Amino acid sequence: MKILDVLHKDAILADLKALDKKGVLEELVTPVARIAGVNHERLVRVLMERERLGSTGIGDGIGIPHGKLKGLGSLVLGFGLSRKGVDFESMDGLPAHIFFLLITPENSTGLHLKLLARISRILKNDPFKKKLLNATESDEIYSIIKEEEEEEEF
């Protein structure tokens, strides 16, 4: 599965304004809730509950908040970029700048894990990460991800 198979252009936020974890989640959830047709508050609650189990700030400036939602039709992905960086309680203590938000139906564990692994893998590519950090608009971010996924095929 490719990231762009599940990442809607409308769910790419090129300039997150929030300065804390809950604020980032609120912002990331806004387009995703609309696209998935689910309640915004419910989605934030699911993500905050997941964060209480352990931070999804994986370090190196990256946060991958994720959760499972009962009654969700299909997997939904969002992306956000924070210029200032946000304390996401990452393992390395550094602020997070790049966020992938992943919401999956309650019973799709395999798909959930596969996409988390894919996202983590491409974010290990420093030139790709740098391009994302320097992007200024949603279309540019979409193109950077598309280019990376096309290169991965070879």
Within 13 A of 5's CA, how many CA atoms are on the CB side? 10
Mean pLDDT of 15-42: 95
CB atoms within 10 A of CB 50: 16
**Residue 1: pLDDT above 70?**
yes
Q: Catalytic residue numbers?
A: 66
Distance CA 120, CA 47 (A): 18
pLDDT of residue 154: 58
**Domains of the chain as residue ranges with CATH:** 3-147 (3.40.930.10)
Tens-digit pLDDT profile for residues 90-130: 989 999 999 999 999 988 878 888 888 899 999 999 999 99
